[in-house]
Amino acid sequence: MSSKSSTVETGPRRALVAGATGLVGGELLQLLLASAEYQRVHLVQRRPLGVDDPKIAEHVVSFDELASLDLGDRITDAFCALGTTIAKAGSVEQLQKVDRDYVRDFGELAARTGVERFAVVSALGADPKSINYYNRTKGEMETLLAELDLPSLRIFRPSLLLGPREERRPKEILGAVVLGGLSPLLMGPLRRYRGIEAARVARAMYATSLEDFPGVRVFESEEIQGY
């Protein structure tokens, strides 16, 4: 897996985004709308986002129906920031449906449009063989996307995401407080466990979309911290 990159030379770009109502997705959407590189931003949503911008083409649809969705446009860059919690999903099976199956379906949708670059938010510790259901789900998701043979798959594995959320997540709030206090002590190999601002992850996804990373490229949390 090569870490070499070069600047991508392209014409006007069209983005496809899933998860724009979330922490990372919301930050990423603002970057795409402000960017002169992108002339159109397609959003796949379960409910209207409520953002009025001439760049946006919103597709309100059940994620169970992605196989039949026609965007009517060729996509150059797809960004996936889908994710849920066990508390919100209600069961491990439902979490897997969102974090693994819907992400795969979104990848298939992007592939049908001829996407050139696909970026996805995974998680630190993602491993299809993990005994932890969350890390295992993320690892299985990564494997399924890799099997699509996308021209360029960029996988981002952040540590605990920091930033304001619409919904309260007590465990994540506690984790943010603990990691916030410990972060200065996490050095060397432990640096990857530092909490990371969602805005920084979004910046990494956007910035690397302007670079050429053929094949599969994984960005671990400590590398994302550099953006």
Q: Which residues does the annotation mark as catalytic?
A: 134, 138
Burial 8-19 (b: 16+ CB within 10 A, else e): beeeebbbbbbb
Dihedral-angle region of residue 149 (phi above 0 means left; psi in -120 to 50 means alpha; beta otherwise): left
Q: What does R_g of the chain's alpha carbons equal in angstroms?
A: 17
- Helices and strands (DSSP H and E) totals, the chain: 8, 9
- Phi-psi category of residue 192: left, alpha or beta, with phi > 0 → left and psi -120 to 50 → alpha: alpha
